[in-house]
Amino acid sequence: MNPQAFINPLLTHFLVTLPVCILNLPFQLWNKYQHWNDGQMILHQEIEGADMIVFVHGRNGHSSSFTPLIKNLQKLGVQKSMISVNLGPTATTSVKDDSATLHRLLEGIEPNIILVGLSKGGLVVSDYVASYPSRNVSKVITISSPLNGTLPADYFMTKNHIARIELGYKSKFTQELQARLPPDVKFFHIVPTWDHFIIPTSSASIEGPNHESKIYTGYYGHIDIPWAPEVAQYIAEWINKN
């Protein structure tokens, strides 16, 4: 691929989302300081007898990455239990490693589960339902996730780095994972217009009879998309109708 065809959208997406990113940066750093790699899960809301939404962060994320999104869902009156997990250090782990960690964390959770994965976390929750068939997981939501890989991984990661091997654009891993996805699980993909890490942004969706996508056109970028009120609205509406 011509590097210019990659660099131009990268710079454009970065400049469009930069103001919002700067505005939210202090809050993000504080959350990361509090919870980064602490291995803890946060129970945000518990409703007896309700389904449980489990939020799974991406590469270098943490359990509080979803706090703004969860607060927006609560404001919308979503009547589900909500918990966010911490997979620990994920900069050099494989999706398979993270999926196995998620499996250990979810053992013993009995309510029906709706998995929500951000960025690499979208691949993790997808691999989870493909690798660990479960009677209580029937819905998966991905947000800004490189489901078909992303060009920045090809350009900015070394050849043998796990992030490039798995997350490179149209990588063997992403294509094989798609082939393993169970047909009885419903998927909802939130696709950002100005994501500076997912290029092309169409890579954040999968086509199929049990896959639905929603385009987010606002100015929140990859790092701070959990802050976008529209994203919470998309999730609430999709959960309510499914």
User: Is residue 197 packed enough to be buried (19+ CB in 10 Å), middle (13-18) or exposed (0-12)?
Assistant: buried
DSSP state string for 107-156? TT--S-EEEEEETHHHHHHHHHHHHS--TTEEEEEEES--TT-BHHHHHH
pTM comes to: 0.88
> pLDDT tens track of the chain, all 242 residues?
556 666 666 666 566 666 666 666 556 555 555 555 455 788 889 999 999 999 999 988 888 889 899 999 999 999 999 999 999 888 899 999 999 999 999 988 888 999 999 999 999 999 999 999 887 998 999 999 999 999 989 888 888 999 999 999 999 999 999 999 999 999 999 998 888 789 899 999 999 999 999 999 988 888 889 999 999 999 999 999 99
Distance of CA 155 to the CA centre of its chain: 21
User: What's residue 159's pLDDT?
Assistant: 87
Q: Which of 82, 93, 21, 112 is nearest to 235 (CA)?
A: 82
pLDDT value of residue 38: 52
Question: What pLDDT score was predicted for residue 89?
Answer: 86
Q: Indicate the residue type of 33.
A: Y
pLDDT in tens, 31-80: 555 555 455 788 889 999 999 999 999 988 888 889 899 999 999 999 99
Domains of the chain, CATH where assigned: 51-60+69-85+96-240 (3.40.50.1820)
